[in-house]
Amino acid sequence: MDQLHIVYEDNHIIVVIKPCNIPVQADKSGDNDMLTIVKAYIKEKYNKPGEVYLGLLHRLDRMVGGLVVFAKTSKAASRISEYIRNREFKKKYMAVVNGKMSGSGELKDYLIKDERINMSRVVTSNVNGSKEAILEYNTVSNFVYNNKDYSLVNVDLKTGRHHQIRVQLANAGYPLYGDIKYGQKINKVGQNLALWACYLSFYHPTKDEYLEFTCTPMDMVKLEPNNKLYNIDKVWMV
């Protein structure tokens, strides 16, 4: 990663753009991760001795790019975590799905995670350990690519379950473009996952101020003129 893309920073929080295929935090791959990258940036910029504090507040799947906020103080971490628990932390996504969607609506399901294979599935509400998952979607456009129908949709995430958008849209019959876990019969290995965290909003943890941030995949391509971090041709075909 040649450059850290910072959208906003003050004494309490830092909002950055996570490129696709970089984990939010360290995993078994050993690849460089956003938490480590941002810590190194803070340590160098502010000449901080010892270990840098950086609170991980929410996650994106490794293959998903977009906006992520970290807390630079424990006070900020505590307050924003409370916003998330109270559903006062808003997250919206852009996605390309297989098939021709129309209109807008709400998907409400119960999900359960299978830790052994790191996948979630839709179950009934009476299954032990299941959690309610809610999202709202709005179809932006339909288009044809390589003689197949696709749709560009906006997703307003109301809950934060494991692989929620991927599972719910696939269960509704519209798996994400490039999702080999939940749309294996349609997608192929090597395709990027067409899901992007395009919007974040929440109250500032210490100021009387409501913050809103936006970033589209096209914004990311403008920041990366050589297009090394995000293959725009394979994912956003519109």
User: Whole-structure pTM over 0.75, yes or no?
Assistant: yes
State the Cα–Cα distance between residues 113 and 109, nearest whole angstrom.
Answer: 13
- 235 has pLDDT over 80: no
Domain count, the chain: 1
Residue 153 lies in a domain: yes
Residue 222 lies in a domain: yes
CATH for 47: 3.30.2350.10
State the Cα–Cα distance between residues 216 and 126, nearest whole angstrom.
Answer: 38
Q: Which two tokens stand for residue 57?
A: 């507040």
Residue 1 lies in a domain: no
pLDDT digits (tens, 9 = 90+) for 57-110: 999 988 888 999 999 999 999 999 999 999 899 999 999 999 999 999 999 999
Residue 53 lies in a domain: yes
Looking at the chain, how many residues does it have? 238
Phi first, then psi, for residue 97 (nearest 5°) are -120, 155
pLDDT number for residue 113: 94
Structural domain of 92: 6-235
pLDDT digits (tens, 9 = 90+) for 132-152: 999 999 999 998 888 889 999
Which long-range contacts does 180-185 make (Cβ < 8 Å, 24+ apart)?
181/119, 182/119, 183/98
